[in-house]
């Protein structure tokens, strides 16, 4: 069975869209998903790339583009008024819950993505983050323990460095074997790769 690697950052709205669509594609092709949390800010720094939001005209267009894609796929989406975010803590949380296992990881992803782009909340506020964590079944104290664990910090750094070494410059980025696909609008090509198309 072929797997697809999914490099993502919770603060990326395009990662949010891909998060909703990629499992459907993988399931239809009998493929697995290898979830790869990375720090997009670290990737930008290493590659010289930047968020489209930093370019005013591109930023305005991006918001329209996101709404178009969400409408096309029927995905609940709201522009988060506190966007963009520093996602270091959130991505350590993703890495930490992934190490705990598939079930807590998926609960965490669902809760965080929803709080960022489904029903937006200000996750920069500790009380808001604690509320979302509680809903995900991850007590705040346990979360703090996870995100401060050396092995979690090291794993996120290593996975982010690996992404850069493999040519990743933004999120989401998918790999099927050695083939790289950047952006949720390339999911068609991910599907074709999983189907074995030349």
12, 15, 51, 78: the active-site residue: 12
Catalytic-residue membership of 12: yes
Place of tokens 């797997």: 3
Per-residue 3-state assignment (H helix, E strand, C coil) for the chain:
CCEEEEEECCCCHHHHHHHHHHHHHHHHCCCEEEEEECCHHHHHHHHCCCCHHHCHHHHHHHHHHHHHHHHHHCCCCCCCCCCCCCCHHHHHHHHHHHHHCHHHHHHHHHHHHHHHHHCCCCCCCHHHHHHHHHHCCCCHHHHHHHHCCHHHHHHHHHHHHHHHHCCCCCCCEEEECCEEEECHHHHHHHHHHHCCCC
**Contact between 22 and 33 (Cβ < 8 Å):** yes
Is 174 within 8 Å of 5 (Cβ atoms)? yes
Residues designated catalytic: 12
């Amino acid at each position: 069975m072929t797997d697809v690697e999914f490099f993502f950052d919770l603060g990326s709205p395009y990662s949010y869209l891909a998060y909703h669509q990629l499992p459907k594609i993988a399931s239809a092709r009998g493929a697995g998903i290898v979830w790869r949390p990375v720090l997009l800010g670290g990737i930008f720094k290493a590659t010289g790339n930047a968020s489209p939001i930093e370019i005013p005209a591109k930023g305005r267009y991006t918001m329209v583009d996101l709404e178009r894609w969400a409408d096309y796929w029927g995905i609940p989406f709201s522009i988060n008024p506190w966007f963009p975010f520093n996602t270091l803590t959130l991505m350590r949380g993703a890495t930490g819950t992934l190490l705990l296992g598939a079930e807590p990881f998926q609960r965490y992803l669902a809760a965080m993505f929803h709080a960022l782009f489904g029903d937006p909340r200000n996750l920069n506020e500790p009380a808001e983050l604690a509320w979302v964590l509680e809903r995900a079944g991850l007590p705040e104290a346990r979360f703090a323990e996870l995100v401060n664990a050396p092995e979690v910090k090291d794993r996120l750094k290593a996975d982010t460095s690996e992404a850069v070494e493999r040519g990743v410059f933004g999120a989401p980025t998918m790999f099927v074997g050695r083939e790289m696909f950047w952006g949720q609008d390339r999911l068609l090509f991910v599907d074709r790769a999983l189907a074995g198309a030349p």
